[in-house]
Amino acid sequence: MKFKLLPRLVALLVLAVLVSLLLELPFFWRQFYPIRYKKFIVEQAAANNLDMALVTAVIKVESNFRSDAVSKANARGLMQLRPNTAKEVAQGLGHIVDDAFPEKLFDPEYNITLGTRYLAAMLKQFGGDEILALAAYNAGPTKLRSWLDKGIWDGTWKNRRQIPYPETRNYLDKVRQAKERYRKLYKND
Protein backbone atom coordinates (compact mmCIF):
# COMPACT_ATOMS: atom_id res chain seq x y z
CA MET A 1 0.00 0.00 0.00
CA LYS A 2 2.78 2.44 0.92
CA PHE A 3 4.64 1.66 -2.30
CA LYS A 4 1.62 2.61 -4.44
CA LEU A 5 1.36 5.98 -2.71
CA LEU A 6 5.01 6.93 -3.26
CA PRO A 7 4.85 7.31 -7.08
CA ARG A 8 1.76 9.49 -6.73
CA LEU A 9 3.45 11.73 -4.20
CA VAL A 10 6.52 12.05 -6.41
CA ALA A 11 4.32 12.89 -9.40
CA LEU A 12 2.47 15.54 -7.37
CA LEU A 13 5.75 17.01 -6.17
CA VAL A 14 7.12 17.19 -9.73
CA LEU A 15 3.86 18.78 -10.90
CA ALA A 16 4.01 21.34 -8.08
CA VAL A 17 7.58 22.26 -9.00
CA LEU A 18 6.67 22.63 -12.67
CA VAL A 19 3.66 24.82 -11.87
CA SER A 20 5.72 27.05 -9.57
CA LEU A 21 8.36 27.45 -12.29
CA LEU A 22 5.68 28.30 -14.85
CA LEU A 23 4.22 30.95 -12.55
CA GLU A 24 7.61 32.68 -12.41
CA LEU A 25 7.93 33.00 -16.19
CA PRO A 26 7.15 36.50 -17.54
CA PHE A 27 5.63 34.90 -20.65
CA PHE A 28 2.97 33.29 -18.49
CA TRP A 29 2.06 36.50 -16.63
CA ARG A 30 2.12 38.64 -19.78
CA GLN A 31 -0.95 36.71 -20.93
CA PHE A 32 -2.85 38.14 -17.94
CA TYR A 33 -1.18 41.55 -18.04
CA PRO A 34 -0.88 42.53 -21.69
CA ILE A 35 -0.15 46.02 -22.95
CA ARG A 36 -2.30 47.03 -25.86
CA TYR A 37 -1.77 50.44 -27.46
CA LYS A 38 1.72 50.40 -25.93
CA LYS A 39 3.27 52.94 -28.28
CA PHE A 40 0.60 55.49 -27.51
CA ILE A 41 0.62 54.76 -23.78
CA VAL A 42 4.38 55.33 -23.70
CA GLU A 43 4.05 58.59 -25.66
CA GLN A 44 1.24 60.01 -23.55
CA ALA A 45 2.77 58.88 -20.25
CA ALA A 46 5.97 60.71 -21.20
CA ALA A 47 4.07 63.78 -22.45
CA ASN A 48 2.28 64.03 -19.09
CA ASN A 49 5.24 63.05 -16.91
CA LEU A 50 3.53 59.84 -15.78
CA ASP A 51 4.88 56.40 -15.05
CA MET A 52 4.01 54.12 -17.97
CA ALA A 53 3.32 51.25 -15.55
CA LEU A 54 0.81 53.45 -13.70
CA VAL A 55 -1.04 54.44 -16.88
CA THR A 56 -1.12 50.84 -18.06
CA ALA A 57 -2.38 49.67 -14.66
CA VAL A 58 -5.17 52.26 -14.69
CA ILE A 59 -6.26 51.10 -18.15
CA LYS A 60 -6.10 47.43 -17.08
CA VAL A 61 -8.23 48.06 -14.00
CA GLU A 62 -10.63 50.54 -15.59
CA SER A 63 -11.46 48.70 -18.82
CA ASN A 64 -9.17 45.67 -19.21
CA PHE A 65 -8.11 47.30 -22.51
CA ARG A 66 -11.65 47.28 -23.92
CA SER A 67 -11.98 50.50 -25.90
CA ASP A 68 -15.78 50.07 -26.05
CA ALA A 69 -16.23 49.77 -22.27
CA VAL A 70 -19.05 51.78 -20.65
CA SER A 71 -19.61 51.86 -16.88
CA LYS A 72 -22.85 52.24 -14.92
CA ALA A 73 -21.81 55.87 -14.40
CA ASN A 74 -21.48 56.30 -18.19
CA ALA A 75 -17.67 56.44 -18.05
CA ARG A 76 -16.32 55.49 -21.46
CA GLY A 77 -13.39 53.90 -23.18
CA LEU A 78 -10.03 52.59 -22.05
CA MET A 79 -9.49 55.01 -19.17
CA GLN A 80 -13.20 55.20 -18.30
CA LEU A 81 -13.76 58.93 -18.63
CA ARG A 82 -17.15 60.41 -17.87
CA PRO A 83 -18.25 62.72 -20.71
CA ASN A 84 -18.34 65.87 -18.54
CA THR A 85 -14.87 65.24 -17.13
CA ALA A 86 -13.52 64.43 -20.58
CA LYS A 87 -15.16 67.56 -21.98
CA GLU A 88 -13.37 69.76 -19.42
CA VAL A 89 -10.02 68.12 -20.22
CA ALA A 90 -10.59 68.39 -23.97
CA GLN A 91 -11.52 72.06 -23.73
CA GLY A 92 -8.44 72.66 -21.61
CA LEU A 93 -6.41 71.20 -24.47
CA GLY A 94 -8.17 73.49 -26.95
CA HIS A 95 -10.10 70.65 -28.61
CA ILE A 96 -13.47 71.20 -30.21
CA VAL A 97 -16.28 69.60 -28.24
CA ASP A 98 -19.39 68.97 -30.33
CA ASP A 99 -22.35 66.59 -30.29
CA ALA A 100 -20.16 63.73 -31.53
CA PHE A 101 -17.69 64.20 -28.66
CA PRO A 102 -18.97 61.40 -26.37
CA GLU A 103 -18.42 58.86 -29.15
CA LYS A 104 -14.82 60.04 -29.57
CA LEU A 105 -14.14 58.69 -26.09
CA PHE A 106 -14.18 55.19 -27.59
CA ASP A 107 -11.18 56.05 -29.78
CA PRO A 108 -8.21 54.50 -27.93
CA GLU A 109 -5.70 57.21 -28.77
CA TYR A 110 -8.06 60.06 -27.93
CA ASN A 111 -9.17 58.41 -24.70
CA ILE A 112 -5.57 57.85 -23.61
CA THR A 113 -4.72 61.47 -24.49
CA LEU A 114 -7.52 62.81 -22.29
CA GLY A 115 -7.14 60.16 -19.57
CA THR A 116 -3.42 60.71 -19.07
CA ARG A 117 -3.94 64.47 -18.98
CA TYR A 118 -6.66 64.02 -16.34
CA LEU A 119 -4.53 61.62 -14.28
CA ALA A 120 -1.64 64.11 -14.41
CA ALA A 121 -4.02 66.87 -13.29
CA MET A 122 -5.13 64.75 -10.33
CA LEU A 123 -1.48 64.16 -9.38
CA LYS A 124 -0.79 67.88 -9.56
CA GLN A 125 -3.94 68.79 -7.63
CA PHE A 126 -3.00 66.39 -4.83
CA GLY A 127 0.66 67.33 -4.53
CA GLY A 128 2.06 64.38 -6.47
CA ASP A 129 0.54 61.84 -4.05
CA GLU A 130 -0.29 58.86 -6.24
CA ILE A 131 -2.73 57.30 -3.75
CA LEU A 132 -4.75 60.52 -3.47
CA ALA A 133 -4.62 61.06 -7.23
CA LEU A 134 -5.93 57.55 -7.88
CA ALA A 135 -8.69 57.93 -5.29
CA ALA A 136 -9.67 61.22 -6.96
CA TYR A 137 -9.54 59.61 -10.40
CA ASN A 138 -11.94 56.91 -9.21
CA ALA A 139 -14.30 58.73 -6.85
CA GLY A 140 -13.84 62.30 -8.07
CA PRO A 141 -11.73 65.07 -6.57
CA THR A 142 -14.69 66.74 -4.83
CA LYS A 143 -15.67 63.53 -3.05
CA LEU A 144 -12.04 62.86 -2.08
CA ARG A 145 -11.64 66.36 -0.64
CA SER A 146 -14.80 65.90 1.45
CA TRP A 147 -13.39 62.67 2.93
CA LEU A 148 -10.12 64.38 3.75
CA ASP A 149 -11.72 67.57 5.11
CA LYS A 150 -14.18 65.65 7.30
CA GLY A 151 -11.45 63.33 8.61
CA ILE A 152 -13.16 60.26 7.14
CA TRP A 153 -9.87 59.18 5.58
CA ASP A 154 -6.39 60.45 6.39
CA GLY A 155 -5.21 59.93 2.80
CA THR A 156 -2.63 57.26 3.55
CA TRP A 157 -2.18 53.89 1.92
CA LYS A 158 -2.03 52.27 5.35
CA ASN A 159 -5.49 53.59 6.27
CA ARG A 160 -7.20 53.17 2.91
CA ARG A 161 -9.80 50.94 4.60
CA GLN A 162 -11.24 54.20 6.00
CA ILE A 163 -12.45 55.12 2.49
CA PRO A 164 -16.25 54.86 2.59
CA TYR A 165 -16.57 53.61 -1.01
CA PRO A 166 -15.65 49.91 -1.30
CA GLU A 167 -15.15 50.44 -5.04
CA THR A 168 -12.47 53.07 -4.41
CA ARG A 169 -10.71 50.94 -1.78
CA ASN A 170 -10.65 47.98 -4.15
CA TYR A 171 -9.57 50.23 -7.02
CA LEU A 172 -6.50 51.40 -5.12
CA ASP A 173 -5.52 47.80 -4.34
CA LYS A 174 -6.04 46.63 -7.91
CA VAL A 175 -4.15 49.51 -9.51
CA ARG A 176 -1.22 49.10 -7.15
CA GLN A 177 -1.02 45.36 -7.80
CA ALA A 178 -1.30 45.83 -11.57
CA LYS A 179 1.29 48.61 -11.56
CA GLU A 180 3.82 46.43 -9.76
CA ARG A 181 3.09 43.53 -12.10
CA TYR A 182 3.54 45.72 -15.19
CA ARG A 183 6.72 47.24 -13.82
CA LYS A 184 8.18 43.78 -13.18
CA LEU A 185 7.03 42.17 -16.44
CA TYR A 186 8.00 44.98 -18.80
CA LYS A 187 11.04 46.52 -17.08
CA ASN A 188 13.35 45.54 -19.93
CA ASP A 189 11.05 46.61 -22.78
Active site amino acids: 62
Q: Report the interhelical angle of 52-63 vs 166-185 (nearest 10°).
A: 130
DSSP letter at 161?
G
**Beta bridge pairs of residue 76:** 70, 81
Residues 114, 119: Cα–Cα separation, whole Å: 9
Question: How deeply is 1 buried, as exposed, middle or buried, from its count of CB atoms within 10 A (0-12, 13-18, 19+)?
Answer: exposed
Name the 3-class secondary structure at 72.
coil
